[in-house]
Structure 1
Amino acid sequence: MRSICFAFWLLLNFRSFVITKAEQPANLGSNCENTTQQTLSSAYQTNLDRILTWIPSDAATSIGYNHTTIGTNSSVYGLYDCGGDLAGFFCQFCVSTAVREAPQLCSNRVSAVVWNDYCVIRYSNEDFFGKALTYPTWHTVGTKNISNTTEIQIGEAFVRSLIRKSTNETNQLYYKEGFNLSATESRYAVVQCTRDLTNEGCRQCLEVMLTEVPKCCEQHIPWTVWSGSCLIRYDDHMFYLLNTQQPSAPAPNAQDKQEGNKRSKTLIITFSVIGPIIVLCLSLYCFWHRKRLIKGLPLPSFRKIQSEEMWNTDLPRIPLITILQSTDNFSEASKLGEGGFGPVYKGTLRDGKQIAVKRLSKFSGQGSEEFNNEVMFIAKLRHRNLVRLLACCLEENEKILVYEYLPNKSLDFHLFDVDRRKQFDWKLRLSIINGIARDFGLARAFEVGQNQANTKRVMGTLGYMAPEYAMEGLFSVKSDVFSFGVLVLEIICGRKNGGFYLSDGQTLISYAWRMWYEGKCLELMDPMLEKSFIEDGVERCIQIGLLCVQEDARDRPTMSDVVVMQASDTLAIPKPKHSAFSVGRTAAEEVTTSRSFKNDITSSITLPR
């Protein structure tokens, strides 16, 4: 449906663009080759009036170009050229505007050049046919500045390619084309010579115009550089017409002209009457379709709905183009990290607000179900310690979540850095542990009375998953308890479980259990805590952490039990049984990527406040 609506949007724009623009073409530049005003002789003025009458009259039935000479004494040489965009009826509109402007802009002058959007007229008292006029040159520039040298070089190379194309055997000394500079920006250019020139003469003229660009225009957009014989125009908006006329037949005789003119008028009248009716009907249908889509009403059967639940959420939608602009088209420089869902990028909206953009990777193994689960669950949560989900995007087969951006980054960024973790004394670390304990357990929403379940796909962070979940896909509230226990041990020792190496192959969990069993808990503690730690508090937290990482999920406490144990210094704490093994690495193992497990265990970034 989108393609149908877009096609008729183009039809609507094409019709209005051709007729409106042709009727009122914008003036690019009007220049008088001879800057000296003089009183024109009556013979020259008569011949000039005749040639200005001939130009629009001849253009009505021509191929878009012609030249002529009027008068034997005080001769006037004149031409018009509508490039490759206009011919016949529409070319006449364009040159008529230029003809009206020329005497006003170059009054009492024997020569003039007027360039409009789609045509040029030129007249002079000297025979200029076949001669490339490269001096003087004129230019106009826009207000938008360009400082990117790479973009400037790309633009120059693009224009050079158009010059080559315009002067080959098949083109009429005219060529237009556009290219995508990025996913959000495009550039368009036209190169044109008057068709009295040879291919070589046109190429030389355009090359001279291109050498003028660095002097005046390359750091601006749009820009136009021209002389009496050629023009180069460069813009970030499509300014040329899409209907390229390339007639190649010789000029018809008078009878053919008359018949062709009748056919042209018939086609114009037919299109003018029927065209608006068709466009109106389809525009109304597109409007109706879009309105139902926005309201979440049933759509036509040929459109695939991503998810009924997704359409019924109150989560705001953000256009894909806005996301592309904010992340510089998902550039590597904007990338914050990558997890099981896909990459996460930092973006900056036009109002300066910073966002974190989570983009579902096509190779993540996750689909609409996982995407919807995250949206439906996270969108309902509001907590000071949870990153907020701001919006989502479902366009062009993309599944994107937009979160608030946290400039202070995550806990691991500070805790596992030798210099930054110096600010984390024992009091602060204990406060973090207690805060996590109160907020933990939001990884999965269970139905009422559900204690354990199976998941089809194991997704999680390497080193934090309970063994029954990682190996068998069994999850429960005790699975989160295991992850909490790993965090407690990491906070106390200041090292990552996933990066814990020992020559005898022990992981952080097994090493912590051995230190506790041998009564050497303080050897596990981060040396930076020596001046601030409380011995009983450290040993108590290590014991709670070990209770949480026991191998049998039934032996682990609930998070509410953990909070109670943390809050009371007098409550007796059970002794932990032997801890579970942990998915880790030994010094002898080769470091592999996170996708080496059959269960699709993946590494993911954490985004706490």
Structure 2
Amino acid sequence: MFFFLFYSVFSVIIHDAAHPDPPFKLCDTANFPTNSPYRANLDKLLSSLSTYQSVPKFYNTSLGTDPYRVYNLFLCYDYANNDTCKTCLQVALQYIQKLCLYKFDAVVWDEYCLFRYSTENFFGKLNVTGNIPLDNIKNVSDPERFRSVVNSTLHNLTKIAAFDPSADMHFAGRTPYMENRMNITALHAFVQCSKDLSPNDCYACLETAITQILDLYYSRGARLLSRSCFLRYELYNFVEGKSEFTDQDVVPKQGHSFKKWMIPVLSIGSVTLALTIGYFIYCLVPRNRTRNRESKISGDQTTYQKDNNLDFQNHRTRGGTDNLDQKEYPFIEIDIIKEATNNFSDSNKLGEGGFGPVFKGVLANGEEIAVKRLSTNSDQGSDEFINEVMLIHKLQHKNLVKLLGFCVHEEEKLLVYEYMPNSSLDGFLFDSRKRARLNWTTRLDIINGIARGMLYLHQDSRLKIIHRDLKPSNVLLDANMNPKISDFGMARIFGGPDGEANTAKLVGTRGYMAPEFAMEGLYSIKSDVFSFGVLLLEIISGRRNAGFHLMTKCAPSLLAYAWKLWNEGTALELRDPLLADSCSQNEFLRCMHIGLLCVQEDAQDRPLMSYVVVMLNSQTVSLSQPEQPAFFIGKFTDHDRETCYNNLSINGLTISDQIPR
């Protein structure tokens, strides 16, 4: 007993000491000019605050008259008591005068609060730039399991804090966690937003914070400091004794209470589910008992080695009409597919790619399908076929194409998808007549849908997926022009926090491959971000990146052209002339800005897809300045500009809108 008591106390000391010591700061580089009215207003503001006898846990105020008004905000985390908040304000005042005095914008964080002032009115505006993640140096024994608990707990708290009015923009909770057989404990967590934010901005801020903090999931404790929100988790109760409330158990989709009897029920359910999945895999993937073969399922470095590789010949007699209703067993008989496609009639042919032709079909129940028929000389071999079957049927998202089934019969390898009436995005985007159907609102919806689909692959799905071949032809459009990402033959599962791996086999499509992938074989989630950035710039400009110079003589690539226009203050020249009547200038420039952030040469500079989604959906999020994009070469002369200008004008339309340099 004494040992466990000692261990618990010592663990708390280790946890608290492991975080770097405050203060933490973000200070603008520029100072107020000497004798500026700003200085006088700031001095008066700070002096008045130092005399406060009682301090609210949140306030925002301003002092002075425009244009020299100074704006100030103080946020004390709600698990601190009133005396602690008062002390924290006084300490923060000392810090900000010592570290950031007379800056145009400054924020300091102490242990329990943040203090911020600025010459800009930031009240009610989301800002997640410069977020500071802090982690504990003591690691956990099972990082992946711990990450899952942290992820679900923080997401549940975020929903409550943001959208439950009674939560008042903050919430504390705990989730039972067994670290090992000798130590049954709980994960304690707390989230809070600045109370001047809207619920949607609060949610966006905390979701961004969760994404950033999950890179530290191996740590027993961590916190995220942001101008607009705060989160923290520990394997001990840091709330108790420091708060006017106690934290509550958090269970996904079950309200705020956790019943003890649910633990064995959930455990039994998990075991049953595991056995069911195991049996399903056993039935679906027959074992080759004559040879011990290795099957690449997930990637070149992250590889599942399996003795039970898909044996195509053994699948000939499996499945059948009776099994079509079993979604977990997606084998479809060859006769059903032949009947649906009129025996692969040319009149049913939708198109053809490197893998082979695609046919439209109609099942007996009237359901329309698309059948990908891999040719014997297809670029997509058996490994890619297996990869797509094993991956995509486990992924469920409205912006991912749905795999209905597959078939292997003799030399035939077939994939059966839901039918997309509007085919692929490139069929619209790069056709001068069809592109007119893509007004600005439709293009924004497509961009947002692709971003949400990629976020699901990178973060929210049960499997963490790098697509590796995101391009317009792999984005399908349904009857309502909603985008669905397709073709997972090149996709790879990743397991580490950075999701980085390398490969000796170069796959993908020229013009969409990130530079580190094309030149060094390194791929990560940031490789997909690069491809998304190229795709975004193509959608808003109506031009291909690959072969851009050959088509227009403007610049070596669409990326180079966009970068030049951005730096010369003529960014609106990138806009597809067909959008002139439907496109908001500010929305276009913001999309272009986000696209340039995604295609930066250094992968570390590119944002995560979670932040891309936030930037696309919140006009108040500040955007950093982009660095030079990848593959930026060559010069851009006045003659090039004139030639490009003429080539990008359509049907006599011209581009006259400009923005300041």
What TM-score, normalized to structure 2?
0.41
* Larger Cα-atom Rg: 1
Greater RCO (CA < 8 Å, at least 6 residues apart) = 1
What TM-score, normalized to structure 1?
0.44
